[in-house]
Structure 1
Amino acid sequence: MTRLALHSRLIPGTEEAYELEHARVWPELITVMNQAGIHDWSIWRSGRDLFHLVECDDYEAAVAQLSNDPIDRRWQDHMSQFVESFAKNPDGAGGQALRHVWTMSEQTS
């Protein structure tokens, strides 16, 4: 399993609405994410900055599978009113993953 971090930014003034949208994500979206090999997805917010931790089998394969899914497409279209952009990293998975620097458990193993 792979863990990776993503960074996105909210459109100014949408912070509270974004959190309300995530109070209960569509159950059918969670189903298609699981089917694509995404086991967990957590989001933290600091101001307009969002930090995501994704646990999945293969992030690039999951994104490719979800790009053709009508439920995910509908979610992405809906969320585009809140999210300004995802940070780009040419070295990261799918061009979005933040560069991994350190994990305590990996050092102590």
Structure 2
Amino acid sequence: MRVALHTTVRPDRIEEYEAAHREVPVELTEAIRAAGARSWTIWRSGTDLFHLLDCEDYAGLLAALESLPLNIAWQARMATLLDTAHDYSAEGHEAGLPVVWEL
């Protein structure tokens, strides 16, 4: 399944956000893949961040990562950079953007 998300980075933290994503811990990317993600791409337009995830089960992915200490630490780091963060709670799977059109 594909899931599109929208988050926002703080205007004064864009460079730091992008720098953080150049050094995502390998252990975290391995955990994300183990949780069922096949790919995850983030695009930025100004302060808007658009995510596209391809995964087996988005709710399952969130459940697997929500209490993972490595992800908790990463999300704490991201919380200092974002105005709107990715929701890893049980209700987070409902945060996906609705599909309007597909080709």
Report the Cα distance in structure 1 between the residues aligned to 2:11 and 2:28, rounded to whole angstroms: 26
Paired residue secondary structure (2:11) = coil
Shift of 1:86: 4.1
TM-score, normalised to structure 1, is: 0.84
Match of 2:27 in 1: 28
Q: Give 2:9's aligned residue.
A: 10
For the 8 Å contact 1:42–1:52, the answer to whether it is kept is yes
1:1-109 residue pairs with structure 2 within 5 A? 2-86=1-85, 94-104=93-103
Q: Percent identity?
A: 37
Q: Deviations over 1:29-55 (max 9, x none)?
A: 001101110111000000100000001
Structure 2: where are the runs of 5+ without partners?
A: none
How large is the RMSD of aligned CA atoms in angstroms?
Answer: 1.9
Moved >6 Å (runs of 4+): none
Report which of the two structures shows the higher radius of gyration computed on alpha carbons.
1
Gaps of 5+ in 1: 105-109
Q: Secondary structure at the match of 1:13?
A: helix
Q: TM-score, normalised by structure 2?
A: 0.89
Q: Is contact 2:32-2:65 (8 Å) kept?
A: yes
